[in-house]
Amino acid sequence: MSKIDIISMENLPGVAALEKRLGVSRRDFLKLCSGIAATLGLPSTAAAEIAQAVASPAKRPSVIWLHFQECTGCSESLLRAEHPTLDRLILDVISLDYHETLFAAAGHQAEAARKAAMEANKGKYLLVVEGAIPTKDGGIYCKIGGQTAIEMVKECAAGAAAVVAIGSCASWGGMPSTGPNPTGSSSVGEVLGKPVVTIPGCPPNPYNFLATVVNYLTFGKLPAVDQLGRPLFAYSRLVHENCERRAHFDAGRFALEFGDAGHRQGWCLYKLGCKGPETYANCPVIGFNDVGEVSWPVGCGHPCIGCTEKGIGFAKPIHALAELKSVQPPLGYPKVDEPRGVGATIASAAAVAALAGAATAATYNLTKNLGKNIAVEGDKPESKERAES
């Protein structure tokens, strides 16, 4: 959205139409927008953007965001996104019609807003689910507005254009599904019985989610995903493959315990239980919070716990060793039967044979000459005896 001076907006047709739509004067509307922007601590340009966003006749895609068995860490992670920031996202890019943490409404009003948004955008809205869904005992362990999580997710998914599971809990069960799993926590995909786009992580990197949403908005479809529904742009490579400490792994330099010399020097954390070699995520590539390399677990010295990976995160002990998934031995390893040069070739054998033959012939000639010399110089019977022997 281009930056527009809020005063000049007064004559825009959209803003003029608002007088009729909302029953407020143009001047008052723009004043309100400036006030909202100031209250939210947003820059002055935001006022114009809010005004334009509200006045814009082009509908922003509706997003319904459900929360079940979760800690709101995924939403918290999203709040810390910088490009775009959450306010830009919900004001410019999408229309966030239902989000337990962020909406202003409460109680029946909130549920009514959800139902209205679903009705108005049937078949077009994006459903985002945060948190696992309890399935045991009819799903009574998580209810919102008297409705179980199972009912709610099924109701919302029915009219959704696409379903995105954000966080490990929604993607594959996450922490709530860890044994003994008393509430029968399950993933969105399992409850709906169909594959959904998953953005696992605890919390997931906000940009993996934002990029997925923006991809949907820009191209009208979700990005390419793997067999677990994870977008390939973010989850196609192991943490180990792009890790900033990988060179230490390759050089055989491992931190042996927390705080030892190797640990202080930033050596590989494999021995301390790093799950990088069996976890697919792009953490080492984009980091968290846009503050550089240290802003992810391995960067600040703690082994990766494999939070994005089912069966690893919250399942395997944090300091248990990872199973190396990608490491087929490279060619650099010496082989058990390392070839050292070649054996005798026909040419080399022939050369040796020729040399040996020449030497034999020379020796024979030498011996013959020696005998002749003796025969000439010595007396007769002695030479005869030699010849006989």
Q: Enumerate binding residues for another protein (CB under 8 A).
A: 249-254, 256, 260-261, 270-271, 317, 320-321, 324, 327-329, 332-338, 340
CB of 178 to another protein, least distance (A): 17
Nearer to another protein, 221 or 264 (CB): 264
Closest approach, Cβ 293 to another protein, in A, equals 23
CB of 328 to another protein, least distance (A): 6
- The pair of structure tokens assigned to 220 is 């009208």
Minimum distance between the CB of residue 181 and another protein, rounded to whole angstroms? 20
- Closest to another protein by CB, 220 vs 329, is 329
The tokens describing 97, both together, are 């019609």
Q: Are strands 185-186 and 133-134 parallel, antiparallel or unpaired?
A: antiparallel
Question: Nearest approach, Cβ of 264 to another protein (angstroms)?
Answer: 12
SS3 384: helix
CA distance 184 to 136: 5
5 vs 260 by CB, closer to another protein: 260
Q: Which is nearer to another protein, 76 or 250 (CB)?
A: 250
| Distance of closest approach, residue 313 Cβ to another protein, in angstroms | 17
Q: Which of 59, 62, 55 is nearest to 10 (CA)?
A: 55
**In this complex, which beta carbon is closest to another protein, that of residue 337 or of residue 377?**
337
Place of tokens 């807003």: 113
Closest to another protein by CB, 102 or 251: 251
Q: What is the DSSP string of 48-114?
A: HHHHHHHH-SSPPPEEEEEE-BS-SHHHHHHHT-BTTBHHHIIIII-EEEEETTT-S--HHHHHHHH
User: What backbone phi and psi angles, to 5 degrees, belong to 18?
Assistant: -60, -30
Minimum Å distance from CB 260 to another protein?
8
Distance CA 46, CA 36 (A): 9
Beta carbons within 10 angstroms of residue 133's beta carbon? 31
Q: How crowded is the C-beta side of 191, counted as CA atoms within 13 Å?
A: 33
Helix axis angle for 149-158 and 107-120, nearest 10°, is 30
Nearer to another protein, 108 or 340 (CB): 340
User: Nearest distance from residue 337's CB to another protein, in Å?
Assistant: 7
* Distance linking the first and last C-alpha atoms of the chain: 115
Instruction: Give the tokens for residue 20.
Output: 């009729």
Contact 242, 234 (CB under 8 A): no
Query: How does DSSP classify residue 140?
Result: T
31 vs 246, which CB is nearer to another protein? Answer: 246
Q: How far apart are CA 151 and CA 156, in angstroms?
A: 9
DSSP state of 177: G
Q: Cβ closer to another protein: 107 or 332? A: 332
Q: How far is the CB of 317 from another protein (least distance, A)?
A: 8
